Amino acid sequence: MASSSLSHQQSVESDPSSELEREGFSVCTKGYDAFINHRGPDVKESVASEIYNFLQRMEYRAFLDQPELELGDSIHSTIKNAITTSIVQISIFSPGYAESCWCLDELLLMLKTKARFIPVFCDVDPSDLRYPDKRVYARAFVEHEEKRRFSKERLQRWKEALHSSSLFCGYNFSTSNE
């Protein structure tokens, strides 16, 4: 792992490893320089892979679910560990992002860690995140509500996390510009 000039902030109020162990997760102590949160069908083969490959070339240790997850890994605990041990959190917001409860739950944890957060707005505008009930993500939230798999409180936390994410300085990216 390359020596990073990034300073690692305390991830959560308590030690993240202890918190995970209390929740029954096995904890891997290897940390990452960056965690890349994304919705696979939208950006895995393009933006997410490009960011991951760039970070690898710069000798940073980045976590992207594929190729970092290995056979036999617990997906949930491995991803949670990667989030809580990363110095930088990168979230790629795409038009289908809010359809994924995995993406939204990861976003909640990422914002909770207080690590440096960098949003990438890919084919969406930051204002789309400020108004998830009215813009690009409105349909996804209507579907979440109709399925009734998630509590109203959880849906509200997801909306608040999207709104909070829109207030960070990030990158605007359009796939139509290649």
Catalytic position from the list 45, 68, 106, 178: 106
Mean pLDDT confidence for 131-143: 92
- CATH number of the domain at 29-174, out of 3.40.50.10140, 3.40.50.300, 3.30.1550.10, 3.90.45.10? 3.40.50.10140
- Domain ranges, ordered by start, for the chain: 29-174
Q: Residue 86: helix, strand or coil by DSSP?
A: strand
Q: What is the pLDDT of residue 21?
A: 55
- At residue 128 the predicted structure's pLDDT band, cuts being 50, 70 and 90, is very high
Measured distance CA(103)–CA(124) in Å, rounded: 16
Q: What is the pLDDT of residue 9?
A: 36
Is 106 annotated in the active site? yes
Read out DSSP for 87-152?
EEEEEEE-TTGGG-HHHHHHHHHHHHHT-EEEEEEESS-HHHHH-TTTSTTHHHHHHHHHHT-S-H
Mean pLDDT confidence for 79-89: 93
Q: What is the pLDDT of residue 16?
A: 47
Q: Tell me, letter by letter, the H, E, C secondary structure of 148-163.
A: CCCCHHHHHHHHHHHH
Mean pLDDT confidence for 41-68: 89
What distance lies between CA 52 and its chain's CA centroid? 13
- At residue 66 the predicted structure's pLDDT band, cuts being 50, 70 and 90, is confident
- At residue 92 the predicted structure's pLDDT band, cuts being 50, 70 and 90, is very high
**131: which 2 tokens?**
């108004």
Q: What is the pLDDT of residue 121?
A: 96
